[in-house]
Amino acid sequence: MSRKVCVIGIGHTDFNSMTPDMQWKEIMYEACQKSYVDAGVDPRKDIDSFITCAEDYWEGFSIFDEFVPDQIGAVLRPCCTVCGDGIYGLGNAYMQIKTGIVDVVAVEAHSKASDMLTYGDIVLFAYDPIFERPISGPVERPNYAGSPSYSKERPKPLVGSTDEKERIHPYFLAGLEMQHYLRKTNTTEEQCASVVVKNKKNAFNNPYADYEAKISVDDVMSSEYLFKPIKRLDISPNVDGAVSFVLADEKTAKNLGVELIYLSGFGWSSETPWLSTRGMDAAYATKAAKMAYKMAGILQPRKEIDIAEVDDRFSYKELQHLEAMGLARPGEAAQMLEEGVLDVKGSFPTNTSGGSLGVGNSLEATGLQKSLEIVTQLRGYAGKRQVPGAEIGIAQAWRGIPSGSGAVAIFKRG
């Protein structure tokens, strides 16, 4: 178990709100080929194992594994699908290499959210079918954040609401969580709105981001309430895109002559999605971070880590996750934001890529997008958003509503 694991290649597509000219196989192929070229490897000869992170519900296929090998170069090679966020794929690749079973592993995750006409209905399948999912019922609502425009002609649910003309979108849970977070930490809606302003501004310097914008706190505050206190601009819109990583053991990485970026720590927590049996304090982030810190030998995270990419699919989540991971004290993240600590030029830059609010909600590719930014920063290739002297970075992702699952990866420059 003494083997060290390195990132030797990264590749990605642009992230776009719609990609009608490309199929999901094509975006997977593009990201993977770019990562193989970046690593200097031939997938048919040099890569020992392939991992795709995908969920059948998102893909529209049962047993999506069958549709994976062709476009990523894994035909007749060891290949598996992880039903989870892409950052879990990094963890699986890390373990495969640490065991000595393989030397080189490719990991891919993607989003083709624009192909889904019923995003909200798909999310509802993750809710408890007896006590939680029946809250839903037919309604006509505007299409926001990739959610469906529900039709009154759709079939009635097995257990309908008292008013069959109304429907609560599954994001109602985020509204409840945000209420809990604001009350517990004395954070304000305006401070959460500042997260949106910061991240969309950062996205201007990220060439693959799709939701960059020059907006003000007032713009966010005046946007429509959807799940009070969450407003339209507090939600990251869905996006299409793919990311691929190639990982290898240290010896192989040195032989290839690539710059060494170590995956030095990894942690995860897969908690129940049942709302009645868990809290609203992002315990998954706390548990995953502690595991990753221990593995990476991080004793003082706030002092030792130079840059962070944390899940911000809702504006309050960035602040909540920073506190849950011990990178800020309870209630302190908003103050750090106001003081400019979390800016690109601040003392603890956070979501320099623009985060999901600026890049877009890339579903299962979210964790790899966060990791992509950290590796790009550690390599020194981030352009105008570059954090000078970044040596250690942390990427964190959450599976999304309504799950209580997430993972953390720590990268160190060699």
User: Which domains are seen in the chain, by residue range?
Assistant: 1-111+242-258 (3.40.47.10), 168-233+265-414 (3.40.47.10)
Q: Token pair for residue 181?
A: 């977070």
Using DSSP's 3-state secondary structure scheme, residue 238 falls into strand
Look at the pTM and tell me if it is higher than 0.75: yes
pLDDT tens digits along 53-74: 999 999 988 899 899 999 999 9
Q: Which residues contact 369 (CB under 8 A, 6 or more apart)?
A: 12, 15, 86, 241, 243, 353, 356, 359, 362
pLDDT at 75 over 80: yes
Task: Give the model's confidence band at 245: pLDDT under 50 very low, under 70 low, under 90 confident, else very high.
Answer: very high
pLDDT for 19: 94
pLDDT band at 277 (very low <50, low <70, confident <90, very high): confident
- Residue 224 scores a pLDDT above 50: yes
CA distance 157 to 145: 23
pLDDT of residue 272: 81
Q: Looking at the predicted structure, is the pLDDT value of residue 164 above 80?
A: no
DSSP state letters, 259-314: PPEEEEEEEEEEE---GGGS-SS-HHHHHHHHHHHHHHT-S-HHHH--EEE---SB
Among 105-109, 125-129, 295-299, whose mean pLDDT is lowest?
125-129
What value does the mean pLDDT take over residues 254-263? Answer: 95
pLDDT of 151 strictly over 70 = no
Q: What percent of the chain has pLDDT over 70?
A: 92
Q: How would you classify residue 105: left for phi > 0, otherwise alpha for psi between -120 and 50, otherwise beta?
A: beta
Do the beta carbons of residue 325 and residue 289 sit within 8 Å? yes
- pLDDT value at position 130? 85
Please provide residue 26's backbone torsions phi and psi, each rounded to the nearest 5 degrees: -70, -40
| 107 pLDDT tier (thresholds 50, 70, 90) | very high
Token reading at 198:
């910061």
Per-residue model confidence (pLDDT) at position 412: 98
Reported confidence tier of residue 1, pLDDT bands at 50, 70, 90: low
Alpha-carbon span 36 to 285, nearest angstrom: 31
